[in-house]
Amino acid sequence: MVCLGNICRSPLAEGILKSKLPKNIFFIDSAGTGNYHIGEQPDNRSITIAKKKGIDLTDQRARQFVTSDFDTFDYIYAMDSSNFNNIINLARNTEDVAKVKLILDELNDSSIVDVPDPYFSGKQGFENVYQLLDNVCTVIANKLITN
């Protein structure tokens, strides 16, 4: 799960997807394409909305996406088109490129392409992001379980 800062959207996506899949079979992690928040806990607003839904994000620490993530992971989900392009720019070959998906493409709803960056928005922005990610992670989890 990849966003820009790895403090708002992708920590939520990581926590939500983890809550829907067995821990012993799936390794799920998140990262940011930017380096601004390396080592930080998720944003308090992400921690709070997740906690309300029974998901604990407090053990997460922000890290920057690295090229070796293409080797570590089978699927790389970008939260928005800008994150998508940043990741693609690091790809070494067509195999790397093929692993990268825009997360909301998993919803069959062409009216929404990007998970909106909630960093400069209020609590409602985080609620909206939570709902979007919960919906799409249900689709992803079902696909991964049946694969």
Residue 9 annotated to the active site: yes
* Nearest-angstrom CA–CA distance, 33 and 114: 15
Query: Applying CB under 6 A, does 6 fall inside the site for ligand 4NP?
Result: yes
Q: Give the sheet arrangement for strand 2-3, strand by strand.
A: 31-32, 2-3, 76-78, 100-102
CB atoms within 10 A of CB 67: 10
Query: Applying CB under 6 A, does 5 fall inside the site for ligand 4NP?
Result: yes
Closer by beta carbon to ligand 4NP, 53 or else 92? 53
Q: Tokens at residue 32, please? A: 């940011």
Candidates 43, 69, 117, 137; catalytic one = 117
Candidates 3, 43, 69, 80; catalytic one = 3
Residue window 41-70: x/- pattern of binding to ligand 4NP, with contact defined by CB under 6 A? ------------------------------
Let me know: does 56 contact 46? Beta carbons within 8 Å: no
Site residues, ligand 4NP (CB under 6 A): 3-9, 32, 36, 117, 119
Active site amino acids: 3, 9, 117
